[in-house]
Structure 1
Amino acid sequence: MDPVVENVRRALLAAGLPDTVIVVDGSAATAATAAAVLGCEVGAIANSLIFECGGEPLLILASGAAKVNVKLLAKEHGLPKISRAMPDFVLEYAGQPVGGVAPLGHTAHIKTFLDTELAQYPLLWAGAGSHQAMLSLTYEELLVATGAVPTAVR
């Protein structure tokens, strides 16, 4: 088993959540491909998007149906400019590849925002450390496990 995925499994258990990690055939690297593989709505995919904000990582857990408005988010939360992080930046702070970033189990603490639109789905799916690994949990479990700040992202 991939050591990065195993680390995500340990993080789930450490957060008091069950190990719901599954490995799918093919790629689940985008919200659309993940939803197709899992047979769920694209909105129920919790994308783990790492941005750069003042030289620090910022994780936005956004519905797969949402286009994140980083200008609005920065203004609403008094943050400096938020820009898309390069893959090496993501790997450095998350320890996970772009397209497989999980909402937890990172190599460093990352300030996190959680898209309130995800609350409408009874079950969410998120990356689990690789392009083939996914995990499931509820909005409340995701909120508590990540210590995220709930917010509108668009």
Structure 2
Amino acid sequence: MAVEDVKAYFSTYGMEDRVIEFEVSSATVELAAQALNCAPERIAKTLSFHLKKADQAILVVTAGDAKIDNAKFKQAFSERALMIKPDEVEEKIGHPIGGVCPFAIKEGVAVYLDESLKRFDTVFPACGGPKSAIELTISELEEYAKSNSWVDVCKGWE
């Protein structure tokens, strides 16, 4: 199970006890915000894309209120945003829809963090399942997600 993989990942840092598991779904930004009793924008949503030129899956972690801006995405990655099909996400990333996160992912998947996250002290990404999360500072997210870089590919949050 993906949540157990994420807990095992965080156990190497002595942080597995920080993973929160809910009785209710946290599979969407709105549901996660309700489960955590926080503002939706503090949910760090992880979106899965396929870069055709590099034949590579990538993750972009954004603030809960941010939306992908196609022009910015194309400028950052030199191609248009092409989300991975829902029935292929778990196979290509390692986590099911509703639990996709940048931790304990398949080898070769690159992670990028969007600038929309930098306005918060802490955010809540999922932890591999649709009833899980962890609270991380932005520097912790950057470190544990092993992000390639920061990107500016979103709109609607400014």
- TM-score greater than 0.5 by the shorter chain: yes
User: Which residue is equivalent to 1:18?
Assistant: 15
Measured in 2, the distance between the counterparts of 1:121 and 1:108 equals 29
User: Which residue is equivalent to 2:70?
Assistant: 70
Measured in 1, the distance between the counterparts of 2:123 and 2:11 equals 17
What residue identity is the alignment partner of 1:32? E
Displacement of 1:73 in angstroms is 1.9
User: Which residue is equivalent to 2:139?
Assistant: 140
Measured in 1, the distance between the counterparts of 2:30 and 2:106 equals 27
Displacement of 1:43 in angstroms is 1.0
Task: Name stretches of at least 5 consecutive residues in structure 1 with no aligned partner.
Answer: none
Q: TM-score, normalised by structure 2?
A: 0.87
Equivalent residues in 2 for 1:3-14 (5 A)?
3-14=1-12
Aligned CA RMSD, in angstroms, stands at 1.6
Equivalent residues in 2 for 1:107-118 (5 A)?
107-118=106-117
SS at 2:61's partner residue?
strand
Q: Report the CA distance shift for 1:113/1:86 in structure 2 as closer, same or farther (over 3 A).
A: same
Measured in 2, the distance between the counterparts of 1:58 and 1:78 equals 10
Measured in 1, the distance between the counterparts of 2:14 and 2:67 equals 28
Displacement of 1:78 in angstroms is 4.1
Residues paired across the two proteins, number? 150
1:85 corresponds to 2:96:
no
Deviations along 1:23-57, whole A, 9 cap, x unmatched? 11211011111011101111111001111111321
Deviations along 1:77-125, whole A, 9 cap, x unmatched? 2433321111232111221111111221112231111012212222211
Q: Report the CA distance shift for 1:117/1:81 in structure 2 as closer, same or farther (over 3 A).
A: closer
SS at 1:32's partner residue?
helix
Alignment counterpart, residue 47 of structure 2, candidates 42, 46, 49: 49
Measured in 1, the distance between the counterparts of 2:108 and 2:40 equals 27
1:103 corresponds to 2:102:
yes
Q: Where do 4+ consecutive residues of structure 1 move more than 2 Å?
A: 77-82
Q: Report the CA distance shift for 1:34/1:78 in structure 2 as closer, same or farther (over 3 A).
A: closer
Are 2:40 and 2:64, in contact at CA under 8 Å, matched by a contact in 1?
A: yes
Are 1:93 and 1:108, in contact at CA under 8 Å, matched by a contact in 2?
A: no
Measured in 2, the distance between the counterparts of 1:13 and 1:107 equals 18
